[in-house]
Amino acid sequence: MGVLKNARKEKYVQGLISGLSQRKAYLVAYPKASKWKSETVDNKASKLLRDDEVWARYVELQEENAKTAGLTRERKKEILKRLAEDESISPNERIKAIDVDNKMDGEYVSKVDLSGSLETKQSKVDDVIEQLKVADEE
């Protein structure tokens, strides 16, 4: 798609991508809007983002950022696989690579610590029944 023909729309999208809120990005792109009520600016900014051309550019820039932002999950798994299979690396390092890969896949059961007693619903019901019996006897 590339840069939008309308410079203000492009400036708005660039503002959003840089981390500005819709309101602030709109005010940067349309400085005269600073005289408007905040609600009006918010409505206009929201409407502008729903514009097909603006939305497509926004998505395009987000995807570009995602590619360059860091290692993707697939890339990380590829690196770990290479480490695990590389016989020139120490066995401990290979095991660590396998361990990290397993963690990424969620193959380990998470440890859950419980403190205090664990009461079942049935034991609570039994307690209530016992209390009712005692109350009937009195």
Task: Give the residue numbers spanning the domain of 39.
Answer: 7-68
In-domain check, residue 137? no
Residues 46 and 11 in one domain: yes
Residues 58 and 19 in one domain: yes
Residues 47 and 23 in one domain: yes
C-alpha 11/C-alpha 17 separation (Å) is 10
Residues 87 and 40 in one domain: no
C-alpha 72/C-alpha 135 separation (Å) is 65
Residues 81 and 56 in one domain: no
Residues 62 and 29 in one domain: yes
Q: Tell me: the pLDDT tens digits for 4-33?
A: 999 999 999 999 999 999 999 999 999 999
pLDDT at position 109 is 72
In-domain check, residue 131? no
C-alpha 10/C-alpha 57 separation (Å) is 8
Residues 56 and 99 in one domain: no
The candidate with the shortest Cα–Cα distance to 17, out of 29, 32, 6, is 29
In-domain check, residue 99? yes
In sequence order, the 6+-apart residues with CB closer than 8 A to the CB of 64 are none
CB 21 within 8 A of CB 66: no
Q: Tell me: the pLDDT tens digits for 55-90?
A: 999 999 998 887 776 777 788 889 999 999 999 989
Number of domains in the chain: 2
In-domain check, residue 88? yes
Residues 95 and 49 in one domain: no
Residues 57 and 20 in one domain: yes
pLDDT at position 44 is 96
The number of CA neighbours under 13 Å toward the Cβ of 31 is 0
